[in-house]
Structure 1
């Protein structure tokens, strides 16, 4: 089924993009699909983003792959059910969503590609469903630096800030006021200009893709629920137990996820390659698709051919 991405005035991107809808556990989920042949690839966005964040990658990868970009529950044009009452927003929940999507819509095992928190979601999906993951690609993986276990190792005066902010934002009217001030074109653009290093990549279209879902009912509650989520898996715990090989790409100028910490993942046996991307920020797949797309395509096609060869000799 083809649906519009939101009920708001469409951007040029949404007006021309074809969105489809899938129902998961009673909730509508938005996704896009391009490509008719080749290995299956599932693209998973980061916090506050949506499948539109892959608009520069879908067409290129679709030349040789069957490519799907999905809105995680709570984001983009997907449903935003009430946290804790209707659904728990955890990486295990999103992993289950991705696994069911792979089985019901894709219809075959797939390569999973994620950005930011999407990396943790796809790693959890691969660990929980080893029969579905052909390989994973992590692009500027969220390090989850505010996780409870990481904060426990900090000096006491550094441990207090995040829990206090979470408690304050969980006061409903405060959380709503904060979100209202955050969800403006000016503020979103300012945040994106911090995350990106190529200013020209921060377009009005991109701002609209990020901002439009914030007007949906339930968006504030999802935002507060996620920033209050300091538990669950860490990437350094998931990567060693992956059932498949991993490729990691990292914009060297990411202000939020330091590459110096990310490079430690290169020592994990399941990580086949760690590729720094000089001069790029937190979302290199959108900032420099001409660099990222060929890397993704080459690795996915090489791994797919190798897996096919291995299967044919067994």
Structure 2
């Protein structure tokens, strides 16, 4: 098995809207691939994927604005933390750093970012692979289908999170090692995958100035696209992988949405939770390699 990319590997920096954006690259030949992490994560969540896909591809893992080693400006100054913003970030990254269209692979909200990029900037995207895409169950359009206590409690909590004193307190409470570990043990089916290294990786950006405001901005963001808005309009080859044991994004709901769209494959991953690329790279990486090989543009020789 290929060793993961060490988390202390020096990262590169790209300036976007005069803001530093962190990314990693492995591989210098073949088609371009951009890996997009989920909420609260960073390029390090792809440390098992980068060196494997980098054997045959130019593989990039980027930190979305507001996360990881990327800038965390005050929401709305100048940019808001929305899928439209992040899709523009990925499209510009393909233009300015990658230099051509790329395959996008995303986990959780990163998969929604990949879909939004493909729909809004079809010329920049060769294909989309979505891993346990976020169902956005707290979206305002889902509110009528929620239990009565959630219909009352979610808007109240979101309203409180818009108050800086409360959001700072709530974020500081959530960003404690024991609470991060507890959440990971819920999200991951394999407890041995929840390592001290993983907890430290997720906690490090939480100490950055602005991290609490980013957390509040996204947890109160109940608008924007739902996956069912984007899936039918994907203009490129697409596959979905889903950890069957995901407690946050139920596979039954994901499968229903995919069946209504033109997706090549829906691949369930047994005994795996919300972040398959980190928890079970031995299952995920071969699937991604085969998919990329199947759709990679032909190499033109003189």
TM-score normalised over the length of structure 1? 0.91
Q: Distance in 2 between matches of 1:14 and 1:68?
A: 15
Q: Distance in 1 between matches of 2:147 and 2:172?
A: 33
1:223 to 211, 215, 221: 215
Counterpart in the other structure of 1:4: none
Cα deviation, 1:145-179, whole Å, max 9, x if unaligned, reads 01011113446554121110011122221111111
Q: Distance in 1 between matches of 2:34 and 2:264?
A: 19
Counterpart in the other structure of 1:124: 116
1:22 to 14, 21, 39: 14
Q: Distance in 2 between matches of 1:269 and 1:155?
A: 27
Counterpart in the other structure of 1:308: 298
2:26 to 34, 42, 50: 34
Cα deviation, 1:185-226, whole Å, max 9, x if unaligned, reads 111111111100111111111111100000000000000000
Task: Report the Cα offset of residue 308 of structure 1.
Answer: 3.2
Matched, 1:254 2:251: no
Counterpart in the other structure of 1:3: none
**CA-atom RMSD in angstroms:** 1.6
Cα deviation, 1:105-163, whole Å, max 9, x if unaligned, reads 00111100000000111100011111111110000000000101111344655412111
Counterpart in the other structure of 1:92: 84
Counterpart contact for 1:115–1:139, Cα < 8 Å = yes
Q: Distance in 2 between matches of 1:14 and 1:296?
A: 22
Counterpart contact for 1:265–1:271, Cα < 8 Å = no
Matched, 1:211 2:200: no
Q: Secondary structure at the match of 1:152?
A: helix
TM-score normalised over the length of structure 2? 0.95
Counterpart contact for 1:32–1:68, Cα < 8 Å = yes
Counterpart in the other structure of 2:136: 144
1:234 to 226, 246, 254: 226
Q: Distance in 2 between matches of 1:125 and 1:23?
A: 19
Unaligned runs of 5+ in 1: 1-11
Matched, 1:76 2:68: yes
Task: Report the Cα offset of residue 292 of structure 1.
Answer: 0.4
Task: Report the Cα offset of residue 14 of structure 1.
Answer: 3.4
Change (3 A) 1:133 1:268: farther
Unaligned runs of 5+ in 2: none
Moved over 4 A (4+): none
Q: Distance in 1 between matches of 2:211 and 2:235?
A: 34
Counterpart in the other structure of 2:126: 134
Q: Distance in 2 between matches of 1:231 and 1:84?
A: 15
1:294 to 274, 281, 286: 286
